[in-house]
Amino acid sequence: MRSRILRAILLAVAVTGIALGIPLGYTALRLVDDGARGDLASRARQIAALIDDQIADGRPIDLEPVQVGVPEGGHLVVTSADGVREFGTTPGPDALSVELPIAQQGTVRLEVSSAPMHTAQYQVAALVVLLVVLSVGTGTVVATVTARKLARPLRHVAARAARLGAGDFRRDDRRHDVPELDLVADALDKSAGALAQLVQRERELVGDVSHQLRSRLTALQLRLEALSLHPEPDAAAEARAALEQAERLGEVLNEMLAAARAARAVGAEPLDLGAELSAIAEEWREPLRGVGRALRVRVPEGLLARATPARLREAIGVLLDNALRHGEGPVTVSARRDDATVVVEVADGGAGVPDELAHHIFERGVSGGGSTGVGLALARALVDADGGRLELSTARPATFAVFLPVPKAEDVVGVSWRTDLTPR
């Protein structure tokens, strides 16, 4: 996009330079030519007037008084009834000449070399070319700065759209004072909010359906187990057959839920948590520093976890935003290996979560600080989509723990690891 903008502006500058340079150069050359010829004609008129005065007084033509009007290197030829009189040397074939009539059918012809005029024309032409080059150069600098200024917000909006497609639903308040781009940014923020609500509703729906089906299926299995002990052999056999079908239905339900989780986590990949969490922390270090708080990151070298980068950024970003809004003191982001999972903890030194909210903190619409109550519910949905879980491990001070799966050995490609995937 920047190259297209740059080419368009440079083309406009070049066309403008050519459109102005050619007429300006032609006009400058004509002015030099007209100036040289006008000066020569003025001198010739003065000489002709002096000679006319001599003829009118009855004196013979004398060129000595008019020699002062002949330019340096010029050639004066006076033709009259008394003959031809000359002063100076012939300037050559390529000369400027002016011929004027005098009394008694005579003429005055004044000639000078055209070399000085051509030199002046070359200088003027060089000056015009220099001005055009300076104009194009200035236009190029302005075009480069303008293209960069216009392309930067376009790249930012494109990156925002890419993050949105990757699952990063955080609101981006950055605007560029370009009405059209700001409208796109507003639309992306609205889409992000709508998608976040959709993800949350999907998770809640899957959870509710799974819970209801499992509850009803468990109750049905208990009834069938009781019927399988019926003294009537036929009734007991039918109950056992029905119980077997119920167990198969339970297995199918588990497989479908596992497939749904795997489909949501299709973008998950082995991540180096040291690099990922450090990059996330860089985004939040300045906002926390602005309120006089520090952000520390403690991650063992080489610690890997399986997650989607955009979802992890979003989830950790929600927890850091929560610590910024509702917590106090320094914020710590740490990670450790725990059996078959990797635990990422975000903690601060504030008063923590009130007891009445501790068990409902991840429910949509629940908030203790006047916020929308969407962030933590969305963060849990995103972590759950990658096969992990988000919990409030400590209410006072508030410590949130993200449990992520450890990548399998065959999934780790191009990442430094040991055979047991333990931290170095």
Q: Please give the Cα distance from 83 to 310 (Å, whole number).
A: 104
Q: Answer yes or no: are the C-beta atoms of 172 and 314 closer than 8 Å.
A: no
130-160 burial string, b = 16+ CB within 10 Å, else e?
eebeebbeebeeebeeebeebbebbebbeeb
Backbone dihedral angles phi then psi of residue 283, each to the nearest 5 degrees: -70, -25
Give the contacts of 50 (CB within 8 A, at least 6 positions apart): 65, 66, 69
Q: Which amino acid is at 232?
A: E
> What pLDDT is recorded for position 333?
94
> Looking at the predicted structure, is the pLDDT value of residue 35 above 50?
yes
> What pLDDT is recorded for position 422?
38
Q: What does the block give as tokens for 175?
A: 């605007």
**Could you identify the residue written with the tokens 């297995």?**
251
Give the contacts of 251 (CB within 8 A, at least 6 positions apart): none
- Using alpha carbons, select from 124, 125, 137, 130 the residue that is nearest to residue 14: 137
Q: Please give the Cα distance from 361 to 365 (Å, whole number).
A: 9
Choice between 111 and 167, residue whose per-residue pLDDT is larger:
111
Choice between 60 and 369, residue whose per-residue pLDDT is larger:
60
User: Of 105-114, 272-281, 360-369, where does mean pLDDT reach its minimum?
Assistant: 360-369
> Looking at the predicted structure, is the pLDDT value of residue 412 above 80?
no
Give residue-wise pLDDT tens across range 290-320: 999 999 999 998 899 988 888 888 889 889 9
- Using alpha carbons, select from 86, 52, 95 the residue that is nearest to residue 67: 86
> Looking at the predicted structure, is the pLDDT value of residue 127 above 80?
yes
User: Of 48-62, 78-92, 369-383, 408-422, where does mean pLDDT reach its minimum?
Assistant: 408-422
> Looking at the predicted structure, is the pLDDT value of residue 213 above 90?
no
> What pLDDT is recorded for position 356?
79
> Looking at the predicted structure, is the pLDDT value of residue 167 above 70?
no
Choice between 358 and 77, residue whose per-residue pLDDT is larger:
77
> What pLDDT is recorded for position 168?
66
Give residue-wise pLDDT tens across range 252-262: 777 776 666 65
Q: Please give the Cα distance from 417 to 302 (Å, whole number).
A: 7
> What pLDDT is recorded for position 292?
92
Structure confidence at residue 423 as a pLDDT band (50, 70, 90): very low
> Looking at the predicted structure, is the pLDDT value of residue 239 above 60?
yes
> What pLDDT is recorded for position 260?
63
Query: CB count, 10 Å around CB of 286?
Result: 9
User: Of 86-90, 117-121, 162-166, 243-247, where does mean pLDDT reach its minimum?
Assistant: 162-166
Q: Is the dihedral of CA 363, 366, 369, 372 positive or negative?
A: positive
Mean pLDDT computed over 38-50: 88
Mean pLDDT score of the chain: 81
Give residue-wise pLDDT tens across range 312-342: 888 898 899 889 988 899 999 999 998 778 9
Q: What does the block give as tokens for 411?
A: 């999934």
337-355 burial string, b = 16+ CB within 10 Å, else e?
beeebbbbbbbbeeebbee
Highest-confidence range of 228-237, 255-264, 325-334, 377-386, by mean pLDDT? 325-334
- Using alpha carbons, select from 82, 44, 41, 78 the residue that is nearest to residue 60: 82
Q: Which amino acid is at 274?
A: G
Q: What does the block give as tokens for 84?
A: 């031809």
Q: What does the block give as tokens for 24?
A: 């300006």
> What pLDDT is recorded for position 263?
54
Q: Is the dihedral of CA 212, 216, 217, 219 positive or negative?
A: positive
Q: Is the pTM of this model over 0.85?
A: no
Structure confidence at residue 418 as a pLDDT band (50, 70, 90): very low
Sheet with 106-113: strands ordered across: 83-88, 75-80, 106-113, 95-102
Judged by DSSP in three states, 188 sits in: helix
Judged by DSSP in three states, 400 sits in: strand
